[in-house]
Amino acid sequence: MEMATHITFVYHHRGWLEKDADGVLKYNGGLVSIIERVHVDTCNLFLVEGLFLDLGYTRFNEVYWLEPGMDLANGLRVLRRDADVVKMCDAALRNENRVHLYFEHPVDTDP
């Protein structure tokens, strides 16, 4: 079977991470933007950030990706270096070529 060369980013933004009344971590509110056909060979942190800024934001505090098959409380991984992006892309290739990313950003920078 031929290895996929493109993955899909599912960006969760304009919301916030917090625990609900039952102590379950959720991403409240916000929007979902789907970015298709991201080439895994050219994917790096600069690209991940650039695609986010293209949504109209000027900055963000942190970006996380969700380990496939896990919940937010246990599966969120911080994305800070290109090595983290490689791990994220590898995980996406094992999960229907799709990965969910969660952005924490100041509300005053909403587009």
Q: Are 52 and 62 in contact (CB under 8 A)?
A: no
Is pLDDT above 80 for 108?
A: no
pLDDT score for 39:
95
106 pLDDT tier (thresholds 50, 70, 90): confident
Domain locations in the chain? 45-96+99-103
pLDDT digits (tens, 9 = 90+) for 16-63: 999 999 999 999 989 999 999 999 999 999 999 999 999 999 989 999
Q: Are 72 and 20 in contact (CB under 8 A)?
A: no
User: Cβ neighbours of residue 94 under 8 Å, at least 6 residues apart?
Assistant: 68
Query: Comparing 3 with 43, which gets the higher pLDDT?
Result: 43
pLDDT digits (tens, 9 = 90+) for 51-101: 999 999 998 999 999 999 999 999 999 999 999 999 999 999 999 999 999
